[in-house]
Amino acid sequence: MFISECLNVNSENHLTIGGVDTVSIAKQYGTPLYVMDEGEIRKNCRTYKNAIDAYYGGKGLILYASKAFSCKEIYRIAAEEGLGVDVVSGGEMYTAYKAGFPMDKVYFHGNNKTEAELRMALEYGVGCIVADNLDEIETLDALCAQMGKTVSVIVRIKPGIDAHTHDFIRTGQIDSKFGVALENGEAMDFFEKALLKKNIKMVGIHCHIGSQIFDLAPFEEAGSVMLNFMADVRDRFGLEMTKLNLGGGFGIKYVEGDTPIAYDAYICAVSEVIKKTAAERNMPMPEILMEPGRSIVAPAGITLYTVGNVKEIKDVRTYVSIDGGMGDNPRYILYNADYTALVASKAGDKPSMKITLAGKCCESGDLIGEGMDIQPVEKGDIVAVLATGAYNYSMASNYNRIPRPAVVMVRDGETRVVVKAETYDDILKNDM
């Protein structure tokens, strides 16, 4: 009945997540609070994994893009589900390592990895580095030489595909800080130089065209452009690469009007294109990698807040102020992102108010949404904001010295804390 399958309403008209009453969760743990349903996360992992089996003969690996939500528990879940992970910083890599994640299934991304991060990746035995540019190759090759190692590398390509999404999360076009471009020969030049490096093993190519995309076409186009480029590299240098990584970016439902495509349809469509292109170019089928982040965790998460006041400004708007805001969810202020909100204790009722959901930061732009439809809401109510499982906790800040909320995971009707709430002393811990 709500935008995510893990959400429902119980006999008391309360919102439930994974079958557990959100009003009771708020009472038990306090607010603001991130709540995630483990069943939904695992179901999404399986949908992707099963699709690789069904449509691509299992010759592939789903990498969970952990920037969407990174903490030790999510790496444990990804490992149990047989996924690899994409990490983009020393911090994510360290979290995966400390969670006991199999490091050979880690792909390390980033447009400006530091030497320290690359060294760490080599020490931890990260499976594959996703190189961004030739400067990185120089550093990596020198480090490998020092450490007596060789490393598998795939390179990030800008395939020249323009996905229709917010400008800040669009990355496939030539004007992007990520990767090397196809259309101006930069990508071919990369191979010419990288292939001279003794400690680097070029094993594939990568692209990521953007995020929150609702079309199949850009992924099909990327599959074809990328595989054709692999064939061009083979023809020019005689190099047979095995890995084709097409990134993430699959859209999800934040509000009723959003029309996501079934996750397995992406894998199905891409598999078809790859089979066709491989036959045309007389190539073996590459191992296919996809990197969904948002679509695995966003629908599994909600944020619970307590309403502190309702301010009706006649003929202007009604502000509903909550005990969180841009510190725990900066996506409205950054991207004008749309969210669905509801009053947790009246979840089954029809929305009858239009509100602006405002945070508690000292900043007028600190909003979670404007023009949001919601049930009649008053001071003391618990408001749930839906589909906050991705890029909320992971992008949270301590602006105004507000501690980050805890993350509670729901599983089989039980709840447990997977990330503790920060305290004021946590905020002070680095102050001298």
What is the three-class DSSP state of 212?
coil
Q: What is the chain's alpha carbon radius of gyration, rounded to the nearest angstrom?
A: 23
Phi, psi torsion values for 127, nearest 5 degrees: -65, -40
Which sign, positive or negative, has the C-alpha torsion 169, 172, 177, 178?
positive
The CA-atom distances, in angstroms, between 28 and each of 21, 33, 344, 384, 416 are 11, 11, 15, 15, 11
Residue matched to tokens 């061009």: 232
The window from 183-191, 293-301, 342-350, 373-381 that contacts ligand LLP (CB under 6 A) reads 293-301
Beta partners for 35? Answer: 302, 408
Mask for 375-404, x = binds ligand LLP (CB under 6 A) = ----------------x-------------
Smallest separation, CB 48 to ligand LLP (Å)? 10
Q: Which is nearer to ligand LLP, 32 or 293 (CB)?
A: 293
Q: Which is nearer to ligand LLP, 319 or 335 (CB)?
A: 335
- Of 247, 299, 325, 327, the one binding ligand LLP by CB under 6 A: 247
- Of 291, 323, 366, 381, the one binding ligand LLP by CB under 6 A: 291
Closest CA to 83 of 57, 102, 108, 59: 102
CA–CA gap between residue 372 and residue 353 (Å, rounded):
8
- Of 211, 277, 340, 356, the one binding ligand LLP by CB under 6 A: 211
The window from 96-104, 192-200, 271-279, 286-294 that contacts ligand LLP (CB under 6 A) reads 286-294
User: Hey, which residues are catalytic here?
Assistant: 362
What is the three-class DSSP state of 11?
coil
Q: Which helix (H) or strand (E) holds 53?
A: helix 38-56
The window from 188-196, 208-216, 266-274, 398-406 that contacts ligand LLP (CB under 6 A) reads 208-216
Binding of ligand LLP by 244 (CB under 6 A): no
The window from 23-31, 236-244, 287-295, 415-423 that contacts ligand LLP (CB under 6 A) reads 287-295
CA–CA gap between residue 321 and residue 324 (Å, rounded):
9
Smallest separation, CB 49 to ligand LLP (Å)? 15
Q: Which is nearer to ligand LLP, 191 or 391 (CB)?
A: 391
- Of 38, 86, 220, 366, the one binding ligand LLP by CB under 6 A: 86
Calculate ∠ Cα 323-325-326, nearest 5°.
155
Smallest separation, CB 248 to ligand LLP (Å)? 3
List, as one string, the DSSP characters of 365-424: T-EEEEEEEES---TT-EEEEES-SSSSGGG---GGGPPPPEEEEEETTEEEEEEPPP-H
Contact status, residue 356 vs residue 369, Cβ threshold 8 Å: yes
Q: Which of residues 12-41 bind ligand LLP (CB under 6 A)?
A: none
Binding of ligand LLP by 295 (CB under 6 A): yes
In the chain the first and final C-alpha atoms are separated, in Å, by 51
Binding of ligand LLP by 299 (CB under 6 A): no
- Of 32, 90, 110, 293, the one binding ligand LLP by CB under 6 A: 293
- Of 170, 243, 294, 346, the one binding ligand LLP by CB under 6 A: 294
Binding of ligand LLP by 332 (CB under 6 A): no
Residue matched to tokens 């003969």: 57
Calculate ∠ Cα 156-162-168, nearest 5°.
75
Q: Which is nearer to ligand LLP, 377 or 387 (CB)?
A: 387
Mask for 161-190, x = binds ligand LLP (CB under 6 A) = --------x---------------------
What is the three-class DSSP state of 28?
helix
Smallest separation, CB 403 to ligand LLP (Å)? 21
Binding of ligand LLP by 204 (CB under 6 A): no
Residues engaged in binding ligand LLP (CB under 6 A): 65, 67-68, 86, 109, 169, 208, 211-212, 247-250, 291-295, 331, 335, 391
